Amino acid sequence: MLRQFTCIMCPMGCSLEAEVLPEGRVEKVTGNNCKRGKEYAVREVTNPVRNIASSVLVENGELPLASVRLNAPIPKKDIFPVMAEIRKIKVTAPVSIGQIVLQDVLGTGSDVIITKNVKRKAEEL
Amino acid sequence: MRQADAVIIGGGPAGLAAAVELYHKGITDILILERESSLGGILKQCIHDGFGLSRFGETLSGPEYAQRFIDQVEELKIPYITDATVIRLTGDKKVYAASREGIIEIQAKAVMLAMGCRERTRGAISIPGERPAGVWTAGVAQSYINLQNKMVGREVVILGSGDIGMIMARRMTLEGAHVQAVFELQPYASGLPRNIEQCLRDYDIPLYLSHTVTDILGKDRLEGVVVSQVDEKLQPVPGTEKTYHCDTLILSVGLIPENELSLEAGVTLDDRSKGAVVDENYQTDVEGIFAAGNVLHVHDLVDFVSMEAEKLADAMARYIREGGLPPCELDIKTDGNVTHTIPQKVSGKKSFRLAMRVRRPMKDGAIEITQDGKTVKRYKFKKALPAEMIQIPVEAEKLNGEAPLEVNVIC
Amino acid sequence: MKCFDVAVIGAGVVGCAVARELSRYSLSICVLEKELDVACGNSGRNTGMLHAGFTYRPGSLKAECAVEGNREFDQVAEELDIPFKRTGKLVVGFDEKDRKNILKYKVIGEENGVRGMEMIDKKRLNEIDPNAGGEFAMYVPSSGILDPMQYTIALAENACMNGAEFLFDHRVLEIERRDERYIIHTPAEDVSVRWVFNCAGMYASQISEMLGYPNYPVKGFKGEYYVLDKKAGKEMKIPIYPAPNDKGGFSTHATPTVDGNVLVGPDSYVVEESEDYKVTKEHMDGLFEDGRKVFKEMKREYFIRNFSGIRWKRYDPETGAILDFMLEADEKNPCTVNLVGIESPGITCALPLARRAVAKLVEKEHPAVNESFNPRRKGIRRFLDMSLEEKEQAVKENPDYGEVICRCETVTRAEILQAVHNPLGVCTVTGIKNRTRATMGRCQGGYCETRITDLIQKEIGISEDQIRYSRKNSYMFTGKVRDEK
């Protein structure tokens, strides 16, 4: 069976075609311009993964929210359960880029990390 | 009046990258003027990842990408003033900015325009209907959701397949809103293919091409929109109207370089790009005023904004040191398949990087740059999309210093 | 139940002018308005023209009030601190038919007492405005332009500082006559008053009936507009109208605004619904085509916004003829003043009408004069209009003047804060916009709207789900993205 994908690994957005064998193994990938495109197609067939970005509440921050993302992609099916976990997180300013605010979210092996420096509110200093 | 070698108007990705590069090129008397309370520009609200692959070889969120440059600015102690809005720029490079401490007046040797762009609005595209709350441009919705912790709605329709619109479709879905569909006037998407994939398809959000909003319903809060198919002339086809009940309409219908200050300084704009006419040094037709980033032409990726600004800084440093740059008198002409080019003028004596976009999607063609009927460069492509900026290096040794250049798309 | 001497129904330009003129006397006054701000109906939905008075039937109330209102407006604008320019107006013609139709109006104008009108040749025409089309024109020096929103706000604020109380979100449902008083029922509360002034604009006929007067037939003539960027307005100094048609009507024209934008419109078509303010593709396309004929700079890139207004005209159902403004006070309905069919030139006529309306009360009960009445009101000082030195000084006195919130219109935090704390207590985004021009520029709030809602929230102390765009249920936010809970 031939399956088609748009590669999301970089902005080029290559159109990929993967030949998938009946047992689910990828026989051949075409249309990719790099190694990552091939890997992407294989993963899309076997276990598609995505990164997600969102925000968490910051207490005493100069901003009400700090943005977060995952430091490694998670299976697509886990996106909404992970979002539910992110929604529960509350941090206290200051927070800085790279800080882990939730480790190994739902056992996915990915951590939720801060992507924006948020200082404490001026009057709180 | 205060003096500075280089004044940079705008502390977003273009301004920051140029400042750092200027410093590395030996120009340290710099001043960045930023209207917001912190540096970073629009990247502050672009919390999704996908930035930095070209510039840093890794994928980052917008705030992380901006912080890389902010850290350098801080480390190099490059002067900047936040909460300072430039209210006037003159042709002789006097800059006036309003701040809480008073009006800042600076005489600059060179000025970089780095004001970025603004979103096209409902009024600009004349969407008919009522005027309820709940109609937002994608960037405004993004700012509310990602910076201000305000949720703009629950049942969403998106008009326009620009990248920010698609990114907001995903963002709002993740926050529990229901995005019913994205409608695009053109017969092709205006955003990048990978955003159609990861922002729409991943979440089962349909994208309808050749459709537009033909009525807005609701006097208080938005109650629905009427969507119609459009014909080849982009006119709504009667009888195809369909009502979508929703409380939110997000518009992602294009970006326009923000050039009000440039115009006041006497800078000539290009009707096609809506940004300044610049030469291979990113210098405008007002000597010593330079422009790069989205104020010059709307980019697809921030990485290219940074890289363009760095190139500008190289030339600007030379300008400041040498008091001028060689003239660039050769026009770059284009055919109807090209929306615009940057630069629009070259000297013919220096290598440069041509940035351009095609007007419609094309497959298996080539972009040919000619001078005096001779091919200077041929750039073959498998596919070319209006969503993507195409960049073609052109080498000096292939050029002569006399004839204009022509850019044609062969397909 | 709240008690007042007088209730003014409707906070349009006429209602606010009546309230202001009433406040010259020792009376307790309330203004009942169904919306959340003044000028939400047609008072804010027009060209902003101070008419000279050359198109109205001699002897009519329209003619009398227009000429009177026109003559006094320099003083009014000065007292109320509102932008106003006596630009004059050109009515341009190309051929003899045009000349004939223009001259008809010149005769009417002279009879109405309009001063200084003259026919001018092409040379003079080009001197006055080199961009004007036409072979000749009638030059009307007394016409002017103003911001109808700012004008209505100023009248209301002046009334308010002289004691009138504005009750927003008070739609009049029913009026009951009880013990020599009127009990006015609104969803918010009942109000008891001795006098009622009907200034309800498009709903004036309904209120008229509630008061015991006829339900006068009115017909709605809707007009749509384009607002163009200030770039388009750079060269435009004077309103230019094409010659009237044989019926005396003007087709689509272009008018500069006091702020430097250009309005193209209105067109005209009949509608049924009182508040059918939607803009339509058909009419926008029509405006674009017609607008280009009179205004060369009518380009799509200058489009900022569209809006519409409806002129609710009183008419004779037998003949279809359009009738004059109605201003009456019938003893059968004691202590009432009824104003119906007040449409264009309602802005120009607002104060003259108000004086005539208030005279009905004064003649009857000779109220004491309000000794502390002050006709002067100060508006919000605009940073944009200041010289560099003035800007410097303003920031020194108030650092909020140094913080630009709206980039396109250069509106500062100081101005937004003054607007948020306006005397009438209005706190919608549209209310801030109409008081400061923030969000009115080419980016339409793309940069400043998020900052304005933030300021409203913090200054008024309301949660995000209480912030409203313009109307009663125009809530902007469904809540927080991340809640404390």
Residues of B in contact with A115 (CB under 8 A): 47, 60-61, 63-64
Interface contact A53-B61, CB threshold 8 A:
yes
B150 and B234 co-located in one domain:
yes
Residue C249, helix vs strand vs coil:
coil
Query: What's the domain range around A16?
Result: 2-46
Tell which of B285, B308, B325 closes a domain: B325
Angle between helices B62-75 and B302-322 (to 10 degrees): 20
Q: Do domains C2-42+149-216+320-365 and C89-141+218-314 have the same CATH topology?
A: no
Q: Which residues of A touch B198 (CB under 8 A)?
A: 8, 50
Beta carbons of B348 and B401 less than 8 angstroms apart: yes
Quote the percentage of chain A above a pLDDT of 70.
98
Which residues in chain A (1-40) have CB-CB distances under 8 A to chain B? 5-8, 10-11, 13, 15
DSSP assignments along B94-162, one per residue: EEEEEETTEEEEEEEEEEEE---EEE--TGGGT--B---B-EEEHHHHHHHHHTS-EE--SEEEEE---
Contact B119 C443 (CB under 8 A): yes
Q: CA angle, C27 as apex, C177 and C209 as ends, to 5°?
A: 30
One-letter identity of residue A98: G
Note whether C484 contacts A57, CB cutoff 8 Å: yes
Q: How confident is the model at residue C122 (pLDDT cuts 50, 70, 90)?
A: very high
Query: Does A11 contact B300 at a Cβ distance shorter than 8 Å?
Result: yes
Beta strand pairing call for B85-89 and C303-314:
unpaired
- Whether A5 has a pLDDT exceeding 80, the answer reads yes
User: Which residue, among C257, C310, C240, has the nearest Cα to C279 in the 3D structure?
Assistant: C310
Q: What is the 3-state secondary structure (H, E, C) of chain A?
A: CEEEEECCCCCCCCEEEEEECCCCCEEEEECCCCHHHHHHHHHHHHCCEECCEEEEEEECECCCEEEEEECCCEEHHHHHHHHHHHHHCEEECCECCCCEEECCHHHCCCCEEECCCECECHHHC
What are the tokens at B2? 């205060």
**Alpha-carbon span B159 to B163, nearest angstrom:** 12
Same domain, B361 and B371: yes
Nearest Cα of chain C lies from the Cα of B271 at a distance, in angstroms, of 10
Give the minimum alpha-carbon distance from B345 to chain A in angstroms, rounded to a whole number. 28
Average the pLDDT over C147-155 and give the result: 98
Name the residue among C357, C349, C365 with its Cα closest to residue C329: C357
Which ranges constitute the DSSP H helices of B25-77? Answer: 53-56, 62-75
Q: What is the pLDDT of residues B50-77, one digit of tens each?
A: 999 999 999 999 999 999 999 999 999 9
Which residues in B lie closer than 8 A to residue A57 (C-beta atoms)? 149
Q: Do B121 and C391 touch (CB under 8 A)?
A: no
- Token couple for A104: 């190994």
Which residues, 6 or more positions from C318, have their beta carbon under 8 angstroms from its beta carbon? Answer: none
Query: Could you read off the pLDDT of C383-427 as tens digits, one per residue?
Result: 999 999 999 999 999 999 999 999 999 999 999 999 999 999 999
Q: Who contacts B21 (Cβ-Cβ below 8 Å, separation ≥6)?
A: B309, B310, B313, B314, B317
Instruction: Quick: pLDDT tens for C310-356.
Output: 999 999 999 999 999 999 999 999 999 999 999 999 999 999 999 99
Q: Do the chains contact at B98 and C402, CB–CB below 8 Å?
A: yes
**CATH fold for the domain made of C2-42+149-216+320-365:** FAD/NAD(P)-binding domain (3.50.50)
B174: nearest CB among A65, A83, A116: A83
How far, in Å, CA of B242 to CA of B254, rounded? 24
Q: Are residues B96 and B195 in the same domain?
A: no
Give catalytic status of residue C283 as yes or no.
no
Task: List subunits contacting chain A, requiring 3 or more Cβ pairs under 8 Å.
Answer: B, C
Of B275, B298, B30, nearest in space to B139 by CA:
B298
Measure in Å the smallest separation between the Cα of C464 and chain B Cα atoms. 7
Distance from the A22 Cα atom to the nearest Cα atom in chain B, whole angstroms: 24
DSSP C300: G
Token pair in block for residue C418: 């003054």
Average pLDDT, rounded, for chain C: 96
Identify whether residues A41 and A58 lie together within a single domain: no
Question: Are B95 and B42 in a shared domain?
Answer: yes
B216 touches chain C (CB under 8 A): yes
Measured between beta carbons, the chain C residues lying within 8 angstroms of A87 are 482
| Contact call for A64 and C482, based on CB within 8 A | yes
| Domain boundary residue, one of B249, B276, B295 | B249
What are the strands, taking DSSP E only, across C260-353? 262-264, 269-271, 303-314, 326-328, 336-340
CA distance C361 to C27: 11
For chain B, give the mean pLDDT: 97
Do A39 and A57 have their domain in common? no
- CA–CA distance, A31 with A19 (Å, rounded to integer): 12
Partners of residue B133 in chain C, C-beta under 8 Å: 468-470, 474-476
Task: Please give the pLDDT value at position C5.
Answer: 98
Q: How far is B170 from chain A (nearest CA, A)?
A: 10
Q: Using CB atoms and an 8 Å cut-off, which of residues 114-173 of chain B contact chain C?
A: 118-119, 121-126, 128-134, 137, 139-140, 143-145, 147-154
Buried residues in A11-23 as b, exposed as e (16+ CB within 10 A):
bbbbbbebebeee
B260 interfacial to chain C (CB closer than 8 Å): yes
Indicate whether A118 and A65 sit together in one domain.
yes
Looking at the fold, whether A41 and A57 belong to one and the same domain comes out as no
Question: Chain C contact for A48, CB < 8 A?
Answer: no
| Same domain, residue pair B237 and B128 | yes
pLDDT grade, residue C129 (50/70/90)? Answer: confident
| The predicted structure's pLDDT at residue A123 | 65
Average pLDDT over residues C153-170: 98
**Of residues B272, B394, B399, B277, the one with CA closest to residue B335:** B272
The model's pLDDT over B104-136, given as tens digits with 9 standing for 90+, comes to 999 999 999 999 999 999 999 999 999 999 999
A101 touches chain C (CB under 8 A): no
Total residue count of chain C as it appears in this document: 485
Cα(B219)–Cα(A80) distance, integer angstroms: 34
Residue type, B312: L
Burial level of B398, CB count in 10 A (0-12/13-18/19+)? Answer: middle
Residue linked to tokens 């598609």:
A48
Look at residue A124 and tell me whether its pLDDT is greater than 80.
no
Number of domains in chain B: 3
Q: Answer left, alpha or beta for residue B364, where phi above 0 means left and psi between -120 and 50 means alpha.
A: left
Q: Which two tokens stand for residue C15?
A: 């209602």
- B111, B161: one domain: no
Put simply, the answer to whether A55 touches C484 (Cβ < 8 Å) is no
pLDDT in tens, C268-320: 999 999 999 999 999 999 999 988 887 878 899 999 999 999 999 999 999 99
Domain regions of chain C by residue span: 2-42+149-216+320-365, 89-141+218-314, 388-466
Does the model's pTM come out above 0.80? Answer: yes
> Residue B342 is which amino acid?
I
C484·A87 Cβ contact <8 A: no
Would you say how long chain A is, in residues? 125
Q: For the domain that residue A75 is a member of, what is the CATH number?
A: 3.10.530.10
CA pair distance A125, B188, nearest whole angstrom: 52
Domain limits for position B399: 328-411
Q: For the segment B145-176, what is each residue's pLDDT rounded down to a tens digit?
A: 999 999 999 999 999 999 999 999 999 999 99
ipTM: 0.96
Mean pLDDT along residues B312-335: 97
pLDDT tens for A22-72 read 888 898 999 999 999 999 999 999 999 999 999 999 999 999 999 999 999
Question: CATH number, domain at B370?
Answer: 2.60.40
Tokens at residue C403, please?
A: 């913080």
Within an 8 Å CB–CB cutoff, is residue A55 touching chain C?
A: yes
- Select the residue of B121, B139, B221 nearest C473 (Cβ to Cβ): B221
**Angstrom distance (rounded) from CA A27 to CA A3:** 11
Query: Which token pair is A78?
Result: 């886990």
In this prediction, residue C485 carries a pLDDT of 67
Is residue A65 within 8 angstroms of chain C, CB to CB? yes
Give me the residue from B47, B54, B196 closest to A6, CB to CB. Answer: B196
Which residues of A are less than 8 Å from C481 in CB distance?
55, 65
Given B249, B277, B306, which residue is the final one in a domain?
B249
Residues near C464 by Cβ (< 8 Å), separated by ≥ 6? B149, B150, C453, C457, C476, C477, C479, C480
CATH of the domain spanning C89-141+218-314, picked from 3.30.2270.10, 3.40.50.1100, 3.30.9.10, 3.60.15.10: 3.30.9.10
Tell whether the model's pLDDT for residue B193 goes beyond 70: yes
Whether chain C has a CB inside 8 Å of the CB on A87: the answer is: yes
The dihedral built from the CA positions of residue C342, C344, C345 and C348, taken in this order, carries a sign that is positive
For an interface test with C, the pick among B1, B94, B118 (most C C-beta atoms closer than 10 Å) comes out as: B118
Q: Given CATH 1.10.10, say whether it is the number of domain C388-466.
A: yes
pLDDT of res. A125:
44
CA B336, CA B161: separation in Å to the nearest integer?
23
Q: How far apart are CA C58 and CA B76, in angstroms?
A: 77
- φ, ψ of residue A8 in degrees (nearest 5): -110, 10
Test the B interface: residue of C403, C439, C482 with most B CBs within 10 Å? C403
B126/B215 Cα distance (integer angstroms): 11
Mutation for C interface: B143, B215, B219, B247, most C CBs within 10 A: B219
The CATH number given to whatever domain includes residue B138 is 3.50.50.60
Per annotation, catalytic residue among C51, C170, C253, C283:
C51
Chain A interface mutation, best of C482, C483, C484, C485, highest count of A Cβ atoms under 10 Å? C482
From chain C residues 268-297, the ones with a CB under 8 A of any chain A CB are: none
My answer on whether B133 and B238 are in the same domain is: yes
